[in-house]
Amino acid sequence: MNDTTQSIMRRRMIALDIDGTLVPNGTRDVPDPTREGVADAVAAGHHVVFATGRSLVGALPIAITLGLNGSWIVASNGAVTARVDQSSPGGYRIETCQTLAVMPLLHLARLLCPTVRIAVEEVGWGYHVSDPFPKGQINGRQLVLSEEELSLEAAPRVVLAAPDIDKFLLEPVRSLGVVVYAGPGSLDVTPQGTSKAAALESIRTSLGVAPERTVFVGDGMNDLPAMAWAAQSHAMGHAPTAVQAAADHVTGTLAEHGAALVLRDLLDRPVTSGVTP
């Protein structure tokens, strides 16, 4: 076995959540220790992959900031996979995009909650919405369309927003056979069978990385399938108890640069910009 073959076999696939793992929710400000850790992992030949609930338009600027040209992004909780490609229009190439029909979801949501706000993802651009969403709740631009126009669409992700929506709409929406994650005042809906784990496994196969060389770092309930997928999973120190219990290891909090600590340990390399030991 030559040195090149050995180097390829040693490569890891390191999948990283974004919000609450790399950056505070809704921001783009990656701390210096995390920047260093990602750069060192890439320099060492490992595959750094983002796996996020964000839409592609929200994840792409962070990948570009970190110099991840050519890297993979799993967006919209696994409904979209793309490659960062700054030579392409928009800076990306879509590899897969699974969609759901908006009409049944819209009709059910309106029936049970007439005041619900609806956002339908337009990949790489933003969202078509029934009413404007507050800044930071969804990524990218917004275009208000009529319900008739929205109902004709198919999309990888739909966001439904209303106070306490998880208490009365979560189970009815799940009955449509879609994947639903509940957040504060919102439901995040993607097509049946989608998850970060399923998308990551497809990427792993494409990259030729051995299953035992996979790593995942995250902090949310939507990360549980990816934690089960990875050979080595890490929960952020501020993650909910259920997420920490599901992980193989618990690292530091976001304020303690927990993701950088994981990268440092994987590379057996010190990070010098204020990481809590």
Query: Tens of pLDDT along 39-50?
Result: 999 999 999 999
Do 85 and 208 lie in one domain? The reply is: yes
> What pLDDT does residue 83 have?
98
Phi, psi of 177 (to 5 degrees): 85, 25
Domain closes at, from 141, 160, 190: 190
- H-helix segments, 86-195: 102-112, 147-151, 165-168, 170-174
Task: Report, as an integer, the average pLDDT of 146-163.
Answer: 97
pLDDT digits (tens, 9 = 90+) for 91-103: 999 999 999 999 9
Q: With respect to residue 109, please indicate whether it lies within any of the assigned structural domains.
A: yes
Q: With respect to residue 276, please indicate whether it lies within any of the assigned structural domains.
A: no
Do 168 and 211 lie in one domain? The reply is: no
Q: With respect to residue 7, please indicate whether it lies within any of the assigned structural domains.
A: yes
Q: With respect to residue 275, please indicate whether it lies within any of the assigned structural domains.
A: no
Q: With respect to residue 64, please indicate whether it lies within any of the assigned structural domains.
A: yes
> What pLDDT does residue 106 have?
97
Do 84 and 9 lie in one domain? The reply is: yes
* 29-35, long-range: CB < 8 A, 24+ apart: 30/62, 30/65, 30/66, 31/257, 31/260, 31/273, 32/273, 32/274, 33/257, 33/260, 33/271, 33/273, 33/274, 33/275, 34/257, 34/259, 34/260, 34/263, 35/66
Q: With respect to residue 11, please indicate whether it lies within any of the assigned structural domains.
A: yes
Q: With respect to residue 111, please indicate whether it lies within any of the assigned structural domains.
A: yes
Number of helices followed by number of strands (H, E) in the chain: 11, 16
The answer, yes or no, to whether residue 273 has pLDDT greater than 50, is no
**Could you give the CA distance from residue 243 to residue 221 in angstroms, rounded to a whole number?**
6
Phi, psi of 110 (to 5 degrees): -65, -35
Do 161 and 198 lie in one domain? The reply is: no
Query: pLDDT category, 9, cuts 50, 70, 90?
Result: low
One-letter amino acid of 217 = V
Do 149 and 217 lie in one domain? The reply is: no
Do 116 and 151 lie in one domain? The reply is: yes
The answer, yes or no, to whether residue 129 has pLDDT greater than 80, is yes
Do 77 and 138 lie in one domain? The reply is: no
Output the domain CATH number for residue 144.
3.30.1240.10
Name the 3-class secondary structure at 105: helix
| 146-165 burial: b if 16+ Cβ within 10 Å, else e | eeeebbebebbbbbbbbeeb
Do 186 and 201 lie in one domain? The reply is: no
What percent of the chain is modeled with pLDDT above 90?
Answer: 89
The answer, yes or no, to whether residue 2 has pLDDT greater than 70, is no
The tally of CA atoms less than 13 A away on the side-chain side of residue 18 is: 27
Contacts of 113 (CB under 8 A, 6+ apart): 160, 162, 165, 168, 169
pLDDT digits (tens, 9 = 90+) for 210-221: 999 999 999 999
> What pLDDT does residue 26 have?
86
Task: Report, as an integer, the average pLDDT of 103-131.
Answer: 97
Do 40 and 7 lie in one domain? The reply is: yes
Q: SS3 for 37-52, per residue?
A: HHHHHHHCCCEEEEEC
Task: Report, as an integer, the average pLDDT of 159-188.
Answer: 96
Do 127 and 9 lie in one domain? The reply is: no
Output the domain CATH number for residue 29.
3.40.50.1000
Please count the structural domains in the chain. 2
Domain closes at, from 174, 190, 206: 190
Do 152 and 179 lie in one domain? The reply is: yes
Do 121 and 168 lie in one domain? The reply is: yes
pTM equals: 0.93
The answer, yes or no, to whether residue 6 has pLDDT greater than 50, is no
Complete edge-to-edge strand list for the sheet that includes strand 47-51: 92-97, 80-84, 72-75, 47-51, 13-16, 214-218, 232-235, 249-250
Query: pLDDT category, 271, cuts 50, 70, 90?
Result: very low
pLDDT digits (tens, 9 = 90+) for 204-245: 999 999 999 999 999 999 999 999 999 999 999 999 999 999
Q: With respect to residue 273, please indicate whether it lies within any of the assigned structural domains.
A: no
Across the chain, mean pLDDT equals 93
> Residue 124: which domain range?
100-190
